[in-house]
Every structure is written in structure tokens, then in C-alpha cells.
Chains A and B, each alone.
Chain A
Amino acid sequence: MDALTRRVRVGRWLPGMALRACNTVIGVFLVAPILIVMLSSFNPKQYFAFPPTGFTLRWYAALAGNTEIVAAFLFSLKLAILATTISTLLGTAMAVTLHRIRLLAAETVRGVIVAPLVVPGVVLGIALLLYFGQTDAVGPLVILLGAHVCLTLPFVFRIVTAGLESADRSIEDSAMSLGASRTVAVLTVTLPLIKGSILAAASFAFLTSFDEVVVTLFIAPPDTPTLPVYIFHYIQYNSDTLVAAAGTVMVLVGSLAAWLCSRKASLGRLF
């Protein structure tokens, strides 16, 4: 084998190897901290330590026995489900409408819908606080739900719009040419075509709401905090292994939502 052939061969496999190595490093960098938290949650030591020196499930038992954490978890779950339902319905309706009708100001409307993605959480939190701080007309729970809908709507809108763009519009047109009204065509043809996108959108919305902490900190209603806010305040005082267990439960809930979604929709196609 002459030197040139060898160089060409190396030139072929080297970029692939480099890319794989690079991806591995990025993967480890992203996943390692989460794994460390999960492994630490089984540590019998009361303070947060890694590597674990033994194995115990006592922190999970303590978690289940802590009424405040359980209440916070259930509240977060309810809030996320409610916010997801509203933003999925609204976001899908908006995406379908803006995709079908020609609107002069369509770009502006799109910009407004996705604005909460661009505005930093702290700014949005302060803005909501200032705005609703002047009135008692709206209850704190409604403000919190409204804020979570605001934060999750952009994800639904973007993902469903992407789904609509990749769906074959001629099928909907065929349905209409065969006598279906626009409403019937959208409900029976378009929506089933993009149901994968809608499901992906809903799981993103759920995860966004379930994990949200910055905006919620400013507008949290009295008596029951959300789980992320509870954990945020908890670690101001204690850094025990209970937090690692609570964090692991949150990761599992998130992974479950992502797994359910990946079974029904190809996430890779959406971005």
C-alpha cells in the first residue's frame, strides 16, 4: 500500500471518528451530572456525596412520607396537565389557522406567539408581578396557570406548524373536493395527519411547565409551591440526599413523557 492510498484511507475514517468522539464527549457532559444526582440518591449518607458509599431506598421512603413534597409534586402535576391541555388546544388551533389563511400580519402574529421563548424568565416574572400586582381581580392560581400557558404555547405552536409544513396538503384539498367542509377536513384529515406533532408538542409543553422555576418563583400562589420551587427553596437551607431523590423523580417523570412521545412521534423530524 503506498503512502497516498494510506492517507486517503485515513482521511476517510478520521472525520467519522472525530465526530463520534466529539458526540461522546458532549453526551457525557450532558448526561453525567444527571447520572451523578440519580446515583447519589441511593447513598445512605445524609449529606449529598458522590460516589455513593452504599445502597439504600430510605430517601425515596422519606420522600413519599414528606407530605409537603408530595403536595408540591401533585400540584406541579395538576398545573402541568392543565397548562398542557390549554396550550395544546390553543396552539394547535393557532398553528392550523395561521398555516391555512393568508394574513398580512402573519409574521408579526407568529412573533408575538413565540415571544415568551425570547424574553428571559426573570423579565417575564417581574413583568407579570408588576402587571398583576396592581389588582386583586385575578386570583393567583389563574395568574400562574396563565403564565404557564404563555410559556408552553410557543413550543406547541412551533412544533405543530413544523408538522403542518411537512404534511401533504393535497390530502386535505382532496377531502374538500369530495365534499367535506373545511372544518370536517381539518378535523378528520389534517389533525390525524399531524397527530404525532401534536403529541410531541404536548409532551414538550408538559415538560416545560413541570420544570419551570424562574417565572413561577415570582408569581407563586400561597400555601402550595410547585415541586421545582420547593426544591429551589429547600436547597437554600439543606443539601441532603432527599433533594437528589426528588430530582431523580423529576427526571423520571420527564423521561416518561419524552418516551411516550418518542413512541408516537419522530422527534428528530421536528427540528
Chain B
Amino acid sequence: MRTATISRRQLLAAGATTLAVPALARTADAQPAAADFKGERMVVNSFGGPFGAAWKQHVVEPFQNTFNAQLAVVDAITGEVTAKVLASRGNPQLDVVILGDSGAAILAQQGLFEPLTEATVPNLKELIGIARLPGDVYAEFLFASEVLVYNKNQVKDPPTSWKDLYSPQYKQHILIPDLGNSVSGPVFLVHQAELNGGSVTNIDPGFEALTRLKPNVITYWTSMQQFANMMSSGEAWLGVWSSDRAAALIKSGAPVALAPLQEKPALFGNAIGVVKNTKHLKLAQSYTNFVLSTNVQSNFLSAVMLAPTNKNAVLSAAAKPFVVDPNGADVIDWATVAKEMPSWLDRWNRTITQ
């Protein structure tokens, strides 16, 4: 049960969103008194597009104003960020990075993060359990979930379980993420393994399930645009996608909806980490702390409709229907995924997409 305090917070947050007040309180929870960095400049990344615009409004600009610092922002998504950090080890071109779990696990394995501590990033203490990693090598700052999306013109009786994907009525009409998709692909495979008695270390049931699923698959999608086009046109009836992308497509008025699933959701996170050997360590830690603060999480994640990892953050009423509560959910061990991925990809190419 939620307490009265949380209800009040929700009310306040909803009110704030309705009034469209973008201003952030200067003192976020557990935020040490804002330091003056005297115009110090560092380079961070954002994902570009609408995510980048929201990041600029809710993170970059308030941080620059509050801390008197300069942030140069590079638009780069997970694969690009991972390549950039790997290529410039020793002389990092990026000081703090945000990226999908799949890339963060690789960088962590290579020792390319400066671990966070509760002393340098106090907001770590406010994160839910699954947002923290052993040694706080990096932290999750948001969670998305895997969702089942359907076309309302083609499917009158929405599915309620992942098992419905296998129903013969969807023959040649479902969209499944290709394993090559760095995040959605492995999440779906591991989740299907789990639903069939396997796990990240026992992937066989996942591959067996996907082999059974083959007759229903119209395409193994490789880009968000491909999924959006095929789903809104009705060419595909049902598909496995990511919650925030689905939210954006639904809000744009496309004839698609989220299937109400009984099973617990599969989550995947986006991580924030300080790059090893940064020349702006203090600034990088303050920025990381800022991203994990209650206010920034409430405002930014309401804008992009993703789940916060700070347990005190509250989403706007408009974002809530699209966001799964990450409390109590499980997350995938991405370190194992990073290790197994080459052999999985090989097996995928031989047995699934062949």
C-alpha cells in the first residue's frame, strides 16, 4: 500500500505537470549544496531526438545553471557510446555517459568506469535495489519494459499473456526483435527462456520457444521505424517492443495499443556512468548525482515516459499508464549476456533467421 505522503507527492507532481512548470527546485534530495564549478566544461552524451530535447530541458540546462558548469552534449546511442569509450581509453572524449545495459556491461567488464560511491554520489542511497550494481560501477537511471503492442484494427480481442504470441491466429503477423538489436533482442530471448523454465545461463528453452514461434513471425525487426511503420499500417498485428517507443506511437494517434499482460514485466535499464580517467571527476560525479535526484527523475522521466530508479521520484499522470512499476521486478544479468552474446548470435543466425 502506498502511504499518504506518496499520494500527496503524486498530487503535487500531477499538479506541477498540469501547470507546465518546468523549473526545478534548486535543492534536490540528498544533493549537497550546489557547488560552483566556475564554468568548467565537460562532454556528456544524450540520445538525440525527442529524448535529447527532454534531456536538454530537464537535465543539461538546469545543471548548467545550478552548478555554473558547461556541458557539451554529443548525440550518441548505446552502440556509438560503447565504441567511443572503448576507442579513447586513457584519453576519454566523454566524461559521463548514458547508455543501454548491453553497452554498460561491456564497458564495466573492460574496467572503463570510475566506480560511484555514496560519498561522491549521495543519491545512490535513494535508488531502488535493482538500479544498483555490485561495487556501484555504474547505476541505472531509468527502466523501460518489454511490451506487447497490437494493431486495434486487426486484433479485436487483445492478448493477455506472452503465450498468446504462439497462437495460430497470428500466423505470419507478429513482429519480434532481431537478436542483433542490442537491448530488445536479448531481453526477449532471455524472457522467453525464463517463461519456459530456462534462464540467462540456460538459454536453450528460449531458443526452442523461438523456433516454435517462427511460423507466426512476419519480420524480425531491426529498427524502431520499421516496427512503427508495420504496426501502424496493420501489416503486422502484434509485436514485441519497448514501452517508451510504444507510448510515443500511441500518443501520436496510431491505431495501436498495449496488451494488458498478466505476467510480470521484463525490464531493461539505461545506465549512467563516469568514464575512467576523466579530467573532470568532481563535476562528473555531481552531474551523475543530479541525474539520479528526485526532481530530475520526476521531470525528465515524465517527459519521456520511462520508469524512474529514484524511489522518491513521481511520474506525471500522463506518463503513468505507459510505465511499469519497477519495484519487485527482476532484471537481466547483463554481464552474462555480454559474455554469451557472440554464441547466441551465431545460434540465432543458424536456427532462427535462417
Contacts and interface: CB of A to CB of B under 8 A. Distances in A.
Interface of A: 45-50, 68, 126, 129-130, 133-136, 217-218, 220-223, 225, 229-230, 232-240
Interface string B218-249: 00000111001100110000000000110011
A218 B85 CA distance: 11
Nearest to A220: B74
Interface in B25-57: 43, 47-53
B51 to A, nearest CB: 5
Contact of B50 (A50, A134, A223, A237): A237
27 contacts: A48-B228, A48-B232, A49-B254, A68-B52, A126-B83, A126-B87, A129-B83, A133-B87, A133-B93, A218-B80, A220-B74, A220-B75, A221-B74, A222-B43, A223-B74, A225-B48, A229-B75, A233-B47, A234-B48, A234-B49, A235-B223, A235-B224, A236-B224, A237-B48, A237-B49, A237-B245, A238-B50
Contact of A237 (B51, B73, B83): B51
A209 to B, nearest CB: 19
B270 to A, nearest CB: 13
Contacts of B245: 237
A215 B131 CA distance: 34
A52 to B, nearest CB: 13
A237 B303 CA distance: 13
B76 interface: yes
A136 B224 contact: no
Contacts of B77: 233, 236
B84 A49 contact: no
User: Shortest 9 CB-CB distances between A and B: which pairs?
Assistant: A233-B48, A133-B88, A222-B72, A239-B228, A234-B49, A46-B252, A47-B254, A47-B252, A129-B87
Given A129-B83, A217-B80, A236 B91 contact: no
B22 interface: no
B252 A240 contact: yes
Contacts of B83: 126, 129, 218
A66 B248 CA distance: 18
A239 B91 CA distance: 36
Contacts of A47: 228, 232, 249, 252-254
B90 interface: yes
Residue of A129, A217, A232, A239 ringed by the most chain B CB atoms within 10 A: A239
B55 to A, nearest CB: 11
B75 A230 contact: yes
Given A49-B232, A129-B87, A233-B52, A239 B249 contact: yes
Contacts, number: 101
Given A47-B254, A134-B91, A236-B48, 8 more contacts: A47-B253, A133-B93, A229-B75, A235-B224, A238-B248, A239-B225, A239-B228, A239-B249
A44 B53 CA distance: 23
A261 B90 CA distance: 47
B306 to A, nearest CB: 11
Interface string B61-90: 000000000001111110010011001101
A49 B153 CA distance: 15
B87 A130 contact: yes
A129 B88 contact: yes
Contacts of A232: 48
A147 B300 CA distance: 35
Residue of A130, A136, A236, A237 ringed by the most chain B CB atoms within 10 A: A237
Contacts of A237: 47-51, 224, 244-245, 248
B253 A46 contact: yes
A221 B90 CA distance: 19
A223 B76 CA distance: 11
Contacts of B224: 235-237, 239
Contacts of B75: 220, 225, 229-230, 233
A222 B90 contact: no
Residue of B84, B248, B252 ringed by the most chain A CB atoms within 10 A: B252
A189 to B, nearest CB: 48
Contacts of B90: 134
A71 to B, nearest CB: 12
A86 B118 CA distance: 52
Nearest to A222: B72
A135 B76 CA distance: 20
B84 A129 contact: yes
Interface string B181-224: 00000000000000000000000000000000000000000011
A49 B225 CA distance: 11
Contacts of A239: 224-225, 228-229, 249, 252
B233 A50 contact: yes
Contacts of B50: 234, 237-238
A217 B88 CA distance: 15
Contact of B73 (A223, A230, A238): A223
A237 B75 CA distance: 13
B72 A136 contact: no
A236 B47 contact: yes
B74 A233 contact: no
A83 B229 CA distance: 35
A239 B104 CA distance: 26
A223 B71 CA distance: 9
Residue of B51, B53, B87, B93 ringed by the most chain A CB atoms within 10 A: B87
A233 B81 CA distance: 13
Contacts of B93: 133
A218 B76 CA distance: 8
Contacts of B51: 236-237
A217 B83 CA distance: 11
Contacts of B253: 45-47
